[in-house]
Structure 1
Amino acid sequence: MADSVVCRDSNQNDIKPGDILKFQREAFFHYAVYIGEGMVVHQTCDQGVLKQSLGDVIQQCSFYIDNSLDLEISPKTRTQIVSDALSRVGRRGYHILTSNCEHFATWCRNGQARCKQIGEKIKQGVISVSSAGPGSVSSSSSKGSDVAAADVFCMGCTSVSKAKQQ
């Protein structure tokens, strides 16, 4: 098993197909599955599940190999992880609380869609789940609206092509 969380910059030497990569963004992390040959598959909020080059997704951020869920749930074979990730390319249906980039990556690797960072942000009071119903969130940001909270989450999960346009 690979180290559970290993700090890397743009060096790809230790990354293996099937590893989950965790990218540092402004307020949140973005997750992708490395599939080999410098490519990743990841879920975005605006364009669904994409296959892109690791260099494009890095966006000059630091990233980590994060296979930490392996300590709780055995990973699939590397071949199966890559196959499952590729099978979802083009799929849409991003949801901040139930189907985000971390859910996608952990489903591909471990067979269970899990997201630790959302729970942590709720515990820290950075976001809250609204009584308005499932999927309604609010942010402690100065904007304070559900839309602002969605914008904060999506900053890490926006596709590279859209991010470059902004």
Structure 2
Amino acid sequence: MAAIESFSATHPGDPEPGDLIEIFRPAYQHWALYLGDGYVINVTPVGKAGARVRMQLLKDVVGSDTYHINNKYDGTYAPLPVEEIIRRAEYLIDQEVSYDLLSNNCEHFVTLLRYGEGVSSQANRAIGAIGFVTAAAGAFSLLGLLRSRSRERQY
């Protein structure tokens, strides 16, 4: 990895190898793992259920968006040694991996590299919202069925 000059895309601090980088896209957050020398590893969707693991310059992945270093799970999971994180990450470069928004997304990918555990609060929030909507729809359906039966009994 060749060294590159620093860039200023609203970057708060200098990432260290193994850091999780949260990138704020207009409708979601994208996640990458910092490798060093300005490079990150991340997954980019390539088909219905697949993604390609790519090593790219952080500035290219961020583009015109903003980002910050966010090792938010360090209090819950112990980070693996940096050398192991980087070794595991480099092994996966250019490989195709499965991808699923709710169970195997970009945040799952980078947290699996850093902690050995794939975690995504973004996916957990989405699953919670889906569960709430499903429960609410079920409750409204049940209320409709009960009302319908109540009317049938009156006649």
TM-score normalized with structure 1 length: 0.66
Instruction: Specify which of 75, 78, 83 is matched with residue 79 of structure 1.
Output: 83
RMSD of equivalent CA atoms: 2.4
Detail structure 1 runs of 4+ shifted over 3 Å in the superposition: 8-13, 124-129
Q: Which has the larger radius of gyration?
A: 2
Distance 1:13 1:122 in 2: 32
Gaps of 5+ in 2: 1-7, 135-155
Q: Which has the higher helix share?
A: 2
Distance 1:127 1:56 in 2: 37
Distance 2:81 2:133 in 1: 36
The amino acid across from 1:41 in the alignment is I
- Please name the residue that 2:116 is paired with: 111
- Please name the residue that 1:99 is paired with: 104
- Please name the residue that 2:58 is paired with: 54
In structure 2, the CA distance between the partners of 1:128 and 1:78, relative to structure 1 (3 Å rule), is: farther
Distance 2:12 2:125 in 1: 29
Percent identity for Structure 1 against Structure 2: 30
The amino acid across from 2:120 in the alignment is C
Task: Give the length in aligned residue pairs.
Answer: 122
Do the aligned residues in 2 keep the contact of 1:32 with 1:41 (CA within 8 Å)? yes
In structure 2, the CA distance between the partners of 1:89 and 1:16, relative to structure 1 (3 Å rule), is: same
Secondary structure, aligned partner of 2:56: strand
The amino acid across from 2:23 in the alignment is F
